Structure 1
Amino acid sequence: MSNTSYAASGVVKGEANMQEKLRVIWMLLSLAISPITLTEKIKGQETQDALTFYNEGLEYYRSGKYKEAADSLFKAVTVKGTRALVAPGPQWRDAFTKLGIAQSIIGNDTGAFLSFMVVVENRSEGEKTQVIRLDTDSSRAYFNLGTVYYTSHGFPGMREFSMEAAIQCFKRAISLKPDYEEAYEYLGYSYDAQHKYEKAIDAYQEAIHRTPEKAEPYNALGLAYRSLKRYAEAIDVLKKSISLESDFVAPHQHLGMTYFDIGDRRSAMKQYEILKKLSPESAAELRAYGKTKSSSK
């Protein structure tokens, strides 16, 4: 298996967390009876109630009362407890977009992720490859929108555009909050997904500069160095990741793989022994990788 395929397999902790968030969201979506539109589901007084909540939410939003805006906008896109999963027109897409912004500002990141996902997934074919513009200076809102694009890489009509959109959103978040470590980290993941490893390295180093005590960026940086066959640098930063969080599985696995890459089987097997206690599955993957390297000689 190639370096890249391992990097994309969810062993980067931040990426694994995002994939888990996406799994939970799709589980929530699957619990709905079926994708519905407001015009199909709401009639008469219910339509008027939804519009009332929408307009109320807009007033709260414009006055900076984001918790109240989030409450009202959520009611506007909710009918008897069933989320309106398809936003059929500009008005209701706007409701979901502003809901996502308000949720970001008040710290409801999972809610914001879901709201932005609805907007991204229900744009017209002509709009799908245009990055959504947010009428806010909230760095968190742009970060949350970026994570939606980041996780939508395999969706129909998105493909490579999703990573470009994610990069634009993470850069916008950083421009609004220059010390935004997490945005730098995900900017690096996005460049990694494009195989732009030098740019990924720059982003990870910026993340490390801001939170040098965090293990994840060192692990990701090690992966990027390894992808460029800069093995000595990869080993150094992977060891640093482990020193910061000794039970973090990913750097142990990647360090073992790097040792196999350079033919240091003894050091690789030391990581294997550690992984057997931390994650038997990861240990088995490392051993399989070692056998692949041996058979390819």
Structure 2
Amino acid sequence: MIRVRWLWLICLIFVFGSFFPLLGFASKGDNEIIEPFEEDRYNDRLEILKEAIRLTLDFSLAYLDLELDRLRFGEYSEPPGEVRYTEEPKAKNAKEYYELGLYYMKQNSYSKAIDAFKQAIKLKPDYPEAFNGLGLVYGSLGSYEDAIKAFKSAIRLKGDYKEAYYNLGLSYGKLGRYEEAVKAFERALELSSEEESIKVNLALAYYKIGGFYWELAKYKKSLEAFKKAVELDPNNVNFYHDLACAYGKLGSYDEAIKIYKEVIKLNPEYALAYYNLGVCYAKLERYVEALEALEKALKMRYDYAKSHYGISLVYLILGNNNYAFKHYKILEKLDPDLAKELFRYIFP
């Protein structure tokens, strides 16, 4: 009997011993072979994920995220002169034709206004106000090139004509010629430094220049333009936000973080600021803070695909594959192309 028991015991040891490796158990000798391989593989994957954050997790500019109609320049300045008529007047001289042009402008009779201003100029070729009025009508009709010609004529006749410079800047701005708009607005500001509408529109011109340089990947020039926009209109959180983006893009993450925090103080519901703050933390390898900021962005804007992408990458680095996969599945519905990019890191 004793021999039979020993025989059974030997068989059990043999059978279960062969299954130990399959169940995840290994001998000391096995560990000496497996552990270095697993550690190398983990470190390699970690470096790939960090590289993904450096290269693919990018800042998101408010300028590109805003609807274009929220970035419009202001209205043209009111033309000088009082409209005294309640019915269609008869004009005899240049001044009366100018006033007639103003009258037609108020009535939205733009073709008649153009004729009246042109008649005033014909009778008095050195009439800067009439040229300015003509430019205003063209601008109201969206004929910005013609408006620019008229405003330039007004300025040639009257070099300190601040309203004409302001209107010229608006016309350039509406055509997307922002650098020329800046020059015109700056001259208008020199002539009237206290006029708030000039500062606001000049700030917007600089802001648009900053966005233009950003799209050309000229981030230093973008930074300088955003700085000027902030100086002129310090109450605009979008200007501050995009200044931080430019700092971040140039690798000045600490400066960017400081500004994003100020932006969030001014507007605690600014989802994009939380997202970009998370990007900064991720690039500095401060992953817990990155996760906190990115998740706050999602609370305010759950359908923002870039936040899901960033959160998933950070979770992968922190070793939480389940949460990473959860955000990947959401991303699949929001942005299939970005999800494909992420797929490579979840399933390397």
TM-score by length of 2: 0.53
The answer to whether residue 125 in structure 2 is matched with residue 75 in structure 1 is: no
Q: Which residue of 2 aligns with 1:181?
A: 237
> Aligned to 2:254, which of 184, 198, 215?
198
CA–CA distance in 1 between the matches of 2:219 and 2:120? 36
Are residue 84 (structure 1) and residue 151 (structure 2) matched? Answer: no
1:88-113 Cα distance to aligned partner (Å, 9 max, x none): 89947987862387x7xxxxxxx895
- The aligned counterpart of 2:64 is 16
Query: Letter of the aligned partner of 2:237 in structure 1?
Result: E
1:56-71 matched pairs, under 5 angstroms = 56=133
Contact 2:151/2:165, CA 8 A, preserved across alignment: no
Instruction: Give the CA RMSD over aligned residues.
Output: 4.3
The one-letter amino acid paired with 1:55 is N
Correspondence 1:148 to 2:208: yes
For residue 253 of structure 1, what is the aligned residue in structure 2? 309
Q: 2: distance between equivalents of 1:288 and 1:48?
A: 69
Answer yes or no: is the 8 Å Cα contact 1:142–1:172 preserved in 2.
yes
Matched, 1:224 2:280: yes
Write out aligned runs for 1:122-141 (5 A).
135=189, 136-138=195-197, 140-141=200-201
1:260 Cα shift? Answer: 3.2
1:167 alignment counterpart: 227
Structure-2 separation of matches of 1:14 and 1:133:
28
Q: What's the offset of the Cα at 1:279?
A: 2.4
CA distance in structure 2 between the partners assigned to 1:134 and 1:192 by the alignment: 33
- In structure 2, give the amino acid aligned to 1:216: L
Q: CA deviation at 1:208?
A: 0.7
Query: CA separation of 1:83/1:133 partners in 2, compared to 1, >3 Å: closer, same or farther?
Result: closer
Flag the structure with larger Rg: 2
Choose which of 284, 287, 298 in structure 2 pairs with 1:242: 298
> In 1, Cα distance between the equivalents of 2:250 and 2:213?
11
Distance, in Å, in 1 between the alignment partners of 2:138 and 2:128 is 7
1:271–1:141 CA distance, 2 compared to 1 (3 A): same
Mapped to 2, the partners of 1:286 and 1:47 lie a distance apart of: 67
Large movers: runs of 4+ above 4 Å? 45-54, 85-90, 92-97, 131-134
Residue 166 of structure 2 corresponds to which residue in structure 1? 98
Structure 1 residue 271 corresponds to structure 2 residue 321? no
Match of 2:56 in 1: 6
Contact 1:171 1:187 (C-alpha < 8 Å) held by counterparts: no
Q: Does the aligned pair in 2 maintain the 1:181–1:207 contact within 8 Å?
A: yes
Return the offset for 1:285. 2.7
Q: Share of identical aligned residues, percent? A: 21
Structure 1 counterpart of 2:267, one-letter code: T
Unpaired runs of at least 5, structure 2: 1-50, 73-117, 156-161, 190-194
What displacement does 1:242 show?
Answer: 1.0
Residues 120-168 of structure 1, C-alpha deviations (whole Å, 9 max, x = no match): 1588xxx8xxx95762434643542232122221688x76323212222
| Distance of 2:337 and 2:286 partners within structure 1 | 27
CA distance in 2, matches of 1:190, 1:143: 17
Matched, 1:118 2:166: no
Distance 1:281 1:143, change over 3 A: farther
- 1:267 and 1:153 map into 2 onto residues whose CA distance is 37
1:17 and 1:251 map into 2 onto residues whose CA distance is: 14
With the length of structure 1 as denominator, give the TM-score of the two structures.
0.61
SS of aligned partner of 1:84: helix
CA distance in structure 2 between the partners assigned to 1:153 and 1:46 by the alignment: 43
Q: 1:153 to 1:13 in 2, by over 3 A?
A: closer
Secondary structure in structure 2 of the residue aligned to 1:208? helix
